[in-house]
Structure formats: C-alpha cells, structure tokens
Amino acid sequence: MHTTTRRDFLTLAAGAAAAITAPSGLAQPRTMPVRAIPKTGESLPLVGLGSTRPVTAIAERGPAHVEAVIRALVEHGGRVIDTWPRNEANDGAFGRIISAPEWRDSLFITINLAQQGAQAGREQFERTLQLYQRDRIDLLNVGSLIDLDAQWPNLRAAKDAGRARYIGVTAAQAALYEQLEAFLAREEPDFVEINYSVVEREAERRLLPLLADRGIAVLISRPFMNGAYFERLANVPLPDWATEFECASWAQFSLKYIFGNPAVTCVLTETTRAENMAENALAAFGPVPNEAARERMRSLMDDA
C-alpha cells in the first residue's frame, strides 16, 4: 500500500500534460478518450464538470475559480458541463464565463428543469437560455424527475423546435430508480443521468444494463458521493496494485472503476479547484481496469 501525495500527483500531471502538448517527435500526443452518444454517434469526452458547487461559490469568491476549473477541464480535452438552477446573479456570471469566445462553441452544456408546473418549467428554460446567452442548449433534462408528467412535454417541444439538441432526465439517487424505470418503459430519452461510484453501485445491477440495451447515453453524477467517499477513505492508503491501471489517487480510483462500465458515456466531477479538475480529467487517460481488477476494487471498498 502507498499514499499518493499532492507532489506525487503534480509530477504525474506534469508528465501527462507534457505528453499532450509536446511537439511532434518529442512525445506521442494524447487526447481524452471519448464515447459515443448511442442515438447519434456524436462523441463526448469521458470526464465532465458538475457545476453546482463551483457556480454557487461565485457570490462569495467571484468567477475566477470557475474559469480556472473550466480551463483545466478544456485543456485536458473535456467539454461537458452539467448545470442546475441557482440564483440569477450566479447563473448570469456563469453564463458570461461559458460564453467567452474561446469556449462558447466547444462546450456541451446541460440545463436541468426543477419546477412544478408546465408553465414554470417553460419560464425557467427561457430565463436560463437568456442567462447562458444561448438560443439553444445541448441537453435539456427534467432534474430529479421533478413533476415529470408536466415537464417531459416541455422537453419534447423544445427538441422539436430545435432549441434543445438532446433531452433526458436525471435521477441522482437510488430512491428514484423505480420511478425512472417506469418512465423508461413508456418514453425514449436521449440521456439519463444517474449516481454511480465504486461505493454506490446500485445502478450496475439493473439500470445500467437497461440503458445500454435501450441505446441511451448515460451521464454519471456523485462519483465521490458528494465528498463522503473521501471521508470514508481518509485513513486508508491507496493500494499498490492501483498503478496497474495508472491510478494515482482515490479520486481516480472511483473514476477508473466507473469507466470500466461500457454503458457510461461521461462522468461529471464536481470541484471548485482547478488542480482537482485536472486530476479528475487525467483519470480518463491510460488503461481502464478489467473485470478482475474491478472485482478487486469492489472488495476493497466493501472492507474499507
């Protein structure tokens, strides 16, 4: 067993960054691996950003830390940014960041409706588009299945009108899985966002195989259980065998496990620190653990 220090990680990160950016003949360039959206074949990088926490902090810390986090994601080949409704001041500041000329046309942005009532949902969508300075959005979700029967027709109308490229739902807790499966029995979303990690594995029993069979793209949230994962492992050393799949931290350990499931399209990691975003993004590079390694990872977590 060994513990990877921040200095160890930064050394690894510098080496990976050099491999990505070095001139031809000095190193083999690498780009973040991608996976296809089943319904269209469009590809998305494996690691994205769940932006709720960093955007919420804009009111206290200003926008610079969000810019730094997005820059770290983009510099490592990521482009998916998942959003959740907050107050208009924070969303307006966030909209200015993601509409910067260097990023505007390359990012893949989601909006999650979280309203009761069809009209309230439509109003939230219109206002968020204004705040994000967009005429259309890449992915429009019903967040947490809130008032699903009222909001789903809104999503279908937005897609039919060309104002949302894709539509889907989120169910980031296992308590919603039964409702989600009932929805999937009657509707055909482009995306589903669920929670999944090396510790929270309920989704791999039925839901992930179902989504794969249906050809539905999968976004993963809570790869670190909103921080509880790190608290659980605070005094546990990273096993030496994690180096077999180029894993240098506990964050990368959970991400590598998730990548090992082929039903997963993109994993959304949430952080307010650019160095942590870089660490998360680097997990996508290098080998993915095979099933034997994933079983070893599960056993370690069950005993931790």
Q: Which helix (H) or strand (E) holds 269?
A: strand 266-269
DSSP per-residue codes, 21-76: HPPTTTS------EEE-TTT--EEESEEEE-HHHHHTHHHH-SHHHHHHHHHHHHT
What does the pLDDT read at residue 304?
A: 87
User: How deeply is 165 buried, as exposed, middle or buried, from its count of CB atoms within 10 A (0-12, 13-18, 19+)?
Assistant: middle
What does the pLDDT read at residue 30?
A: 62
Collect all residues with Cβ–Cβ distance below 8 Å to 242 and sequence separation of at least 6.
248, 252, 253
Question: Mean pLDDT for each 10-residue chunk of the chain (304 residues)?
Answer: 38 39 39 96 98 92 96 96 92 96 95 97 97 97 98 98 98 95 97 97 97 98 95 95 97 98 97 96 96 97 92
Amino acid code (one letter) for 8:
D
What does the pLDDT read at residue 31?
A: 86
Distance CA 71, CA 79 (A): 10
The third-level CATH classification (topology) of the domain covering 32-303 is TIM Barrel (3.20.20)
What does the pLDDT read at residue 9?
A: 36
- pTM (predicted TM-score): 0.90
What does the pLDDT read at residue 86?
A: 82
Q: Which helix (H) or strand (E) holds 122?
A: helix 118-131
What does the pLDDT read at residue 11?
A: 40
